[in-house]
Amino acid sequence: MGFLESVKKKYEKFTTKKEIKKHSPLVESIFQLALNIRDLSDQQLKTKTEEFKLRIKEGKSLDEILPEAFAVVREANKRILGKRPYVEQVLAGLAIHQGKIVEMKSGEGKTIAETMPAYLNALNGEGVHIVTTNDYLAKRDAEWVGPIFEFLGMSVGKVTELMKDNERRENYAKDITYVANKEVGFDYLRDNLVFDFNERVLRELNFAIIDEVDSILIDEARTPLIISQLVEYPAELFLKITPLISQLNEETDYEIDERFQTVTLTELGLAKLEEILRLEGLDSEKDNQLVYYIYQALKAKALFKKDKNYIVKDGQVILVDEFTGRLTPDRRLMEGLHQAIEAKESVKIREKDQLLAIITFQNFFKLYKKFSGMTGTAETAKDEFQDVYNKEVFVVPTHKPIRRRDLPDVFYLTENSKLSYLIEEIEIRHKRGQPVLIGTPSVEKSILISNLLNEKGIPHQCLNARYHEREARQIAQAGQEGIVTVATNMAGRGTDIILSPGVGVVGGLHVIGTEHHRAKRIDDQLRGRAGRQGEAGSFQFHVSMEDELIQVFGSEEFWQVVENLDLPEDRPMDDVFFQKGFEEAQKLAEALDFDSRKWLYQFDQVFDRQRSIIYKMRDEFLAEENLNKRRAVLEIIDGLWQTYLDDFEQLQQEINLVSYAGRDLLVEYTLRAKKLFDALLLEINLQVASL
């Protein structure tokens, strides 16, 4: 059987899928071209890049060049890394070029698949950004596959946190640049604060390939990028209110809605505060600001837990990232909430962050002419990718059949009984030489399990997603014989776990989930650590009725049946009834989180339109040749914009109170924002005209 025939035979197993079948002729042409291209010398292969660029200048489209360009990159992969991208990687590359969100399972070679569309889209000379979740991955991938592009005559750059502006500018000028999402986002904001075009580091945003795209566009969607400066803040208000709030009792004075992460004063609590503060009524117009501070202090008390949502270190409140478990010392909660937590913890209340520039990842990546992304878990979020980003999800089949055994969940009534059985199972698997990876939802839980393993004398490594480079090395070793690894669910994400010889005999890597996450995607990411690339492996969840998911989102009917069963606390259970109860709780949590992100996106769209107008206005005056006039004008725009951002933040505070009046929040917000912005534009025009 010839080469092309064998490719066709392999490809037949995918033709049942409509989207994949549609790509069949293109994939076959790429593989057929490879037969001729492999006979080219290194120099002849390299000259193909200039040939492609010339053809583009002559009017050829990227799609017309695609088959040959992909074939050239496949051959370059072979000569640099020793292996040509296989059919599934080519399929992924095609979907990336088309601007789709690609699901490609863990270990299937996403980094290699990206090389083909990255090369193709860099041929027009406008630059390609391959966006990662952290500096370590940007540096690693640039050094690993960068030589492929360089072999073909392309320039490769990487941008990391400690680089100076001139280094950033130089690396963004390369054909292909590897960069972390936060770095490129902040560079965009800083570029829109400069007084000279030459001070900018970015070129026009052309094409971005976002790695771990669900993490960036969904998990981090609610955390905006912010550039700010510290200004004085009325700390005395929080110092006055916090002791009063500490006197309030849950249920009688306030109610917590864990599902929506809100807290509300009861009539009794409201009356108690009115009496304490000797006010006629906290809902009167003149006391709106005080009411707001009270609710922020109440949120700090009721919704933010020490050593879970934040830690106190060196006299500072440091937030813990909800998804990675990583400490984020450079992040602060807005609208006075961070100060409220500082007052609660009796540490120094720092100055307020005055906004200079702000953008969400949702809106930032829409600034690119085209963007696409890759992840091992996209299909369960396909509705959100479609609704918010207008992006289709393209699922790529695995190169080899998945051999992982997905075992049914094991259920326990209490957390203690779960942990007791969990440690026993880990010990048994460890003694027979099977590697075990235990995924936890938080740093707090990983430390707890680590302590229990220490008590049993079970050697292990504990990863908390704090040190990317070190943890990438550790997670890579999690498949070695007898190794036990405890890790927050996201620690070391993006790193292949390598099984040592002989581990397959004892079942391969066994992954244990200690709690279901609110999103099934996060569960699937953990599941995907086992049985990669057709290797042996297994996965199982151990969950209890005390887990946060079921406590918050479990239905009343489910809880009623559980209570009526009168089950023993010290017995593990494997039952379809429990499985269904947890699945329904997770679906509810996902639906609420999706609605929340979509709601925030709609609100942010209002501000995004205004920011675009101001940045466009700034660009027009940046072209002013009279340096003095360019600077009194930009200073006017920036000064009024910063004042506006303060007013806008105040609007966001006030709009939260409007909801209690039963009015349509988005309509009210849009109308007030428009009124504020019209006033801003009028004032800018008046001051500029007076120059």
Tell me, what's the pLDDT at 1? 47
Tell me, what's the pLDDT at 660? 53
Q: How far apart are CA 66 and CA 56, in angstroms?
A: 11
Tell me, what's the pLDDT at 285? 47
Tell me, what's the pLDDT at 280? 46
Instruction: State how beta strands 310-313 and 316-320 pair.
Output: antiparallel
Poorest-pLDDT segment among 538-547, 561-570, 635-644: 561-570
Average pLDDT estimate for 212-216: 92
Question: Which region holds residue 567: left if phi is over 0, alpha if psi is between -120 and 50, else beta?
Answer: beta
- pLDDT at residue 494 is higher than 60: yes
List, for residues 437-492, the tens digit of each pLDDT value: 999 988 788 889 999 999 999 999 988 766 666 777 788 788 889 999 998 866 66
Burial 256-272 (b: 16+ CB within 10 A, else e): beeeeeebebbeebbeb
Residues 6+ apart with CB under 8 A from 201: 165, 168, 169, 172, 187, 190, 191
CA distances from 558 to 217, 543, 561, 577 (A): 33, 15, 5, 9
pLDDT confidence bin for 326, thresholds 50/70/90: low
Average pLDDT estimate for 184-213: 96
- pLDDT at residue 10 is higher than 70: no
CA distances from 369 to 186, 405, 435 (A): 19, 42, 45
59 phi and psi angles, rounded to 5 deg: 115, 0
DSSP run (H or E) holding 210: strand 207-211
Q: How far apart are CA 638 and CA 630, in angstroms?
A: 12
Instruction: Name 541's bridge partners.
Output: 513
pLDDT confidence bin for 14, thresholds 50/70/90: low
Average pLDDT estimate for 139-143: 95
Question: Which candidate, 495, 446, 439, 435, places its Cα nearest to that of 468?
Answer: 495
DSSP run (H or E) holding 679: helix 665-689
Angle between helix 42-57 and 135-151 (nearest 10):
100
DSSP run (H or E) holding 47: helix 42-57
Q: How far apart are CA 276 and CA 270, in angstroms?
A: 10
Please indicate whether the domains covering 3-225+362-395 and 405-580 agree at the CATH topology level: yes
Angle between helix 62-81 and 135-151 (nearest 10):
100
- pLDDT at residue 493 is higher than 80: no
Tell me, what's the pLDDT at 221? 83
Question: Which candidate, 214, 216, 188, 195, places its Cα nearest to that of 368?
Answer: 188
Query: Which has more pLDDT, 494 or 586?
Result: 586
Superfamily of domain 233-350: SecA, preprotein cross-linking domain (3.90.1440.10)
Instruction: State how beta strands 461-463 and 101-103 pair.
Output: unpaired
The CATH number of domain 405-580 is 3.40.50.300: yes
Instruction: State how beta strands 207-211 and 128-132 pair.
Output: parallel
Tell me, what's the pLDDT at 659? 57
Q: Tokens 């017309």 sit at which residue?
A: 64
Indicate the SS3 state at residue 125: coil
- pLDDT at residue 259 is higher than 90: no
Q: How far apart are CA 465 and CA 457, in angstroms?
A: 24
Tell me, what's the pLDDT at 106? 86
- pLDDT at residue 536 is higher than 80: yes
Tell me, what's the pLDDT at 639? 92
Tell me, what's the pLDDT at 195? 93
List, for residues 382-429, the tens digit of each pLDDT value: 999 999 999 999 999 999 889 999 999 999 999 999 999 999 999 999
What number of H helices and E strands is found in the chain?
Answer: 27, 21
pLDDT confidence bin for 579, thresholds 50/70/90: very high
Contact 513, 523 (CB under 8 A): yes
Domain range list for the chain: 3-225+362-395, 233-350, 405-580, 591-689
- pLDDT at residue 38 is higher than 80: yes
List, for residues 165-180, the tens digit of each pLDDT value: 999 999 999 999 999 9
Indicate the SS3 state at residue 261: coil
Task: Report which residue type is found at 492.
Answer: G
Question: Which candidate, 105, 672, 203, 134, places its Cα nearest to that of 400?
Answer: 105
Tell me, what's the pLDDT at 611? 95
Q: How far apart are CA 93 and CA 113, in angstroms?
A: 5
Instruction: Name 352's bridge partners.
Output: 231
Tell me, what's the pLDDT at 16? 46
- pLDDT at residue 104 is higher than 90: yes
- pLDDT at residue 283 is higher than 70: no
Contact 601, 362 (CB under 8 A): yes
Burial 468-501 (b: 16+ CB within 10 A, else e): beebbebbeebbbebbbbbbbbbbbbbbbbbbee
Instruction: Name 461's bridge partners.
Output: 485
Superfamily of domain 591-689: Helical scaffold and wing domains of SecA (1.10.3060.10)
Q: How far apart are CA 172 and CA 160, in angstroms?
A: 11
Beta strands in 83-133 (DSSP E): 101-103, 128-132
pLDDT confidence bin for 361, thresholds 50/70/90: very high
Query: Which has more pLDDT, 85 or 250?
Result: 85
Sign, CA dihedral 115-117-122-128, equals negative
347 phi and psi angles, rounded to 5 deg: -110, 170
- Other Cβ atoms within 10 Å of 152 Cβ, number: 26
Tell me, what's the pLDDT at 418? 95
Q: How far apart are CA 203 and CA 344, in angstroms?
A: 45
Residues 6+ apart with CB under 8 A from 278: none
220 phi and psi angles, rounded to 5 deg: -100, 10
Contact 407, 538 (CB under 8 A): yes
Q: Tell me, yes or no, if the pTM score tops 0.85.
A: yes
Q: How far apart are CA 360 and CA 334, in angstroms?
A: 14
Tell me, what's the pLDDT at 441? 85
Instruction: Name 129's bridge partners.
Output: 177, 208
Residues 6+ apart with CB under 8 A from 284: none
Got the DSSP string for 649-675? HHHHHHHHHHGGGT--HHHHHHHHHHH
> Which CATH code is given to the segment(s) 3-225+362-395?
3.40.50.300
Got the DSSP string for 529-595? TSSGGG--EEEEEEEETTSHHHHHH--HHHHHHHHHHT--TT--B--HHHHHHHHHHHHHHHHHHHH
Average pLDDT estimate for 377-386: 92
Q: How far apart are CA 105 and CA 103, in angstroms?
A: 6
Q: Tokens 């086992």 sit at which residue?
A: 530
Q: Tokens 């970015």 sit at which residue?
A: 202
Tell me, what's the pLDDT at 11? 58
Percent of the chain with pLDDT over 90: 55
Tell me, what's the pLDDT at 571? 81
Q: What is the mean pLDDT of the chain?
A: 88
Tell me, what's the pLDDT at 92? 95
Query: Which has more pLDDT, 242 or 364?
Result: 364
Average pLDDT estimate for 237-245: 83
Average pLDDT estimate for 674-685: 94
Instruction: State how beta strands 156-159 and 327-328 pair.
Output: unpaired
